[in-house]
Amino acid sequence: MLWASLLLGVVEGLTEFLPISSTGHLIITERLIGFEGDRAEAYVIFIQLGAILAVVWDQRGQLIEIARDLPRSPVARNLVLKLFLAFVPSAALGLLVYSRMKEHLLFVGPVAVALIVGGILILIVERLPLRARTKTLESVSWGQALAIGLAQCLSLWPGFSRSAATILGGLGAGLERRTATKFSFFLAIPTMFGASFYDLFRNWRYLEPADFLWLGLSFAVAYVVALVSIRWLLNYVSNHSFAVFAWYRIALGALILVLLR
């Protein structure tokens, strides 16, 4: 279980905030190492919390500032409310389709298709003549926040990627690349905490007492790798397109479909 724990932690931390789908990569990894079923699902849900704590720590300065200003600053209150507005659509839809999604989409085949579809959408958005008119989180409008929240609903398809959906939604709504990425990071906090605790509530009984040592290891690895991934991505997006992620997704999805035949 040592190597499985290390591998799952690395995969989660590396892929959670890149637009390539952590859920999809974890499902593929579980299949490759033969670690599947309800226990494996509960395991990876837990280690996702390590990645989300990484973004909380990395953005702690701005988060503390927002929390401090919340009682007296309309700007801080509006930002929190806009993040909540963006959170609601996928949360509501997720509650409605959770059981059906788990029954039909949490498999390698649907993940491969989602990787390809998401990759194609990234290439399409990158070729659109979009005008980046919003350069700070505080200037994100209510309409833009709602558009990003609706885009996040695409991430309910395992393999599509929450990061890809929200960043593409932000770019399409007129956010500058770095701002779209930061809004995606901030939106991840309520989204992933909510989804992870909901899933853990439903699946924690599948974990065994001996799992918690390995869970701690995976959690720590996911945290450290995610921290590096977040900082790299914020620097990367300032001067690069997301096309490289799109081609990677398409190639990986196509390879999986070929191997499944």
Which residue has better confidence, 184 or 201? 184
Is pLDDT above 80 for 98?
A: no
**C-alpha distances in Å from residue 120, one per residue of 11, 27, 137, 223, 251:** 23, 21, 27, 30, 11
The answer to whether 165 and 20 have CB atoms below 8 angstroms apart is no
129-143 burial, b for 16+ CB within 10 Å, e for fewer? eeeeebeebeebeee
Residues making up the chain, counted from first to last = 261
What pLDDT, on the 0 to 100 scale, is given for residue 107?
86
The answer to whether 152 and 172 have CB atoms below 8 angstroms apart is no
Banded model confidence at residue 167, pLDDT cuts 50, 70, 90? very high
The answer to whether 22 and 48 have CB atoms below 8 angstroms apart is yes
What pLDDT, on the 0 to 100 scale, is given for residue 34?
87
3-class state of residue 141 by DSSP: coil
Nearest to 186 by CA among 102, 81, 92, 115: 81
Nearest to 189 by CA among 166, 159, 221: 166
Q: How far is CA 115 from the centre of its chain?
A: 14
In whole angstroms, what is the distance from residue 168 CA to residue 59 CA?
21
**C-alpha distances in Å from residue 201, one per residue of 7, 153, 196:** 25, 22, 8
HSE at residue 207, side-chain half, CA atoms within 13 A, is: 21
Is pLDDT above 90 for 143?
A: yes
Nearest to 136 by CA among 88, 72, 89, 66: 66
Task: Give the mean pLDDT of 89-100.
Answer: 86
In whole angstroms, what is the distance from residue 243 CA to residue 134 CA?
22
* Rg of the chain on CA atoms, in Å: 18
What pLDDT, in 10s, does the model give residues 231-243? 999 889 877 889 9
What pLDDT, in 10s, does the model give residues 32-91? 888 877 777 777 878 888 999 999 999 999 999 999 999 999 999 999 999 999 999 999
Mean pLDDT of the chain: 90
Which residue has better confidence, 47 or 180? 180
Banded model confidence at residue 244, pLDDT cuts 50, 70, 90? very high
- Furthest-apart CA atoms within the chain: distance in Å: 60
